Amino acid sequence: MANNTGRPAVFVSRKVFPEVIARLSEHFDVEMNDTDSVLSPDQLAQRLQGKVGVLTTGSERVDAALLAANPQLRIVANIAVGFNNFDMAAINAAGVLATNTPDVLTETTADFGFALLMATARRVTESEHFLRAGQWNKWSLDMFAGAEVHGSTLGILGMGRIGQAIARRGAHGFGMKVIYHNRSKLAPELEAECKASYVDKATLLKTADHVMLVLPYSPEAHHTIGAAEIAQMKPTATLVNIARGGIVDDAALALALRNRVIAAAGLDVFEGEPKVHPDLLTVPNVVLTPHIASATMGTRMAMAMLAADNVIAFLTTGHAVTPLNAAAVAKA
Ligand code: GLV
């Protein structure tokens, strides 16, 4: 649908870099939410009137109601690799193309997974809080003694691109024994390259010194890690979640951390974020970060540019760069 300038109109639902708006503006009339506040579903539906494409983030839900209010919409381009904010059944039924941003964030996110693992195992933030509180008055042999990272066993739950990049860091950089569990086993040459061995979930939980969660969220993955799974882990183990809120039962985890069922956790994502379960804020043995695993300027720019390129490519050639549902759209 073209507006009165004769060019198609697109909407950018959150503040993005000016370079991204400039690129989109070469092709479209661009309107954006430059307040950067998260729009309510009604506000988003309203702002999308007359727009054929939209750039979203994980904070905006695209569902049947939004699509019904905007039948002119042709593409929804998420600035994220995860797309659990998309109701794919509704998007497919509406014949709308959905895209995400794979690959451009893989290495940066894997770096952060390792940063969180290191900070958690070696008690970096806990000891910093102690120092900042003026409590450091002497050196002691066991002060903030944490868990070994090099040479330990890393268990990765979810072995997509990011899981594999974490495995490479662990195996090749830190001499870790890497075990993984995934819906499907990797091809043997990829397993060899990542130096990773496939195990069942129970074996992973009970064997790993560090458990890293990198699986996509789906209703089936809800509370993949709850009290029962935490109880299977070693009491010295750490748990790191860079996947999605809801994969871990945060209330159960907070209780387990308080009771030292496991040693520590590192969390970048939370159930109901940006709210954080209040019990997590009061346990000392958890490192908490505000969903920043892909947050370097270069990677965030690459993600936003890829989303823009998806909109441009689809609306000008009919083929997006990283489509999620091209087959469903072709059939519609
Ligand atoms: C971030 O969480 C993403 O899915 O890209």
172 flagged as catalytic: no
- Residue 182 in any domain: the answer is yes
- Residue 305 in any domain: the answer is yes
Whether residues 304 and 274 share a domain: the answer is: no
CATH of the domain at 61: 3.40.50.720
- What is d(CA 315, CA 317) in angstroms, rounded to the nearest whole number? 6
Whether residues 164 and 119 share a domain: the answer is: yes
In tens, the pLDDT along 210-260 reads: 999 999 999 999 999 999 999 999 999 999 999 999 999 999 999 999 999
And the tokens for 188?
């043997």
Among the listed residues 39, 88, 38, the one whose alpha carbon sits nearest the alpha carbon of residue 67:
88
Domain span holding position 211: 106-288
Whether residues 215 and 307 share a domain: the answer is: no
Domain count, the chain: 2
Residues 46 and 24 sit within 8 Å (Cβ to Cβ): no
DSSP 187: P
- Residue 235 in any domain: the answer is yes
pTM: 0.96
And the tokens for 297?
């300027």
- pLDDT < 50 regions, the chain: none
- Residue 56 in any domain: the answer is yes
In tens, the pLDDT along 307-324 reads: 999 999 999 999 999 999
Exposed e or buried b per residue across 236-272, where buried means at least 16 C-beta atoms within 10 angstroms of its C-beta:
bbbbbbbbbbbbbbbebbbebbeeebbbbbbbbbbbe
- Residue 1 in any domain: the answer is no
Annotated catalytic residue within 122, 123, 291, 300? 291
Strand ranges (DSSP E) for 144-256?
Answer: 153-157, 177-181, 196-198, 210-213, 238-241
Whether residues 53 and 114 share a domain: the answer is: no
Annotated catalytic residue within 23, 169, 244, 300? 244
CB atoms within 10 A of CB 22: 11
Ligand 1 closest atom vs CA 79: 5
Mutate to test the pocket of ligand 1, among 14, 81, 108, 241 (most ligand atoms within 8 A of CB): 81
Whether residues 267 and 305 share a domain: the answer is: no
Angle between the N-to-C axes of helices 297-317 and 106-121, in degrees from 0 to 180, rounded to the nearest 10: 150
273 flagged as catalytic: yes
Angle between the N-to-C axes of helices 106-121 and 124-132, in degrees from 0 to 180, rounded to the nearest 10: 60
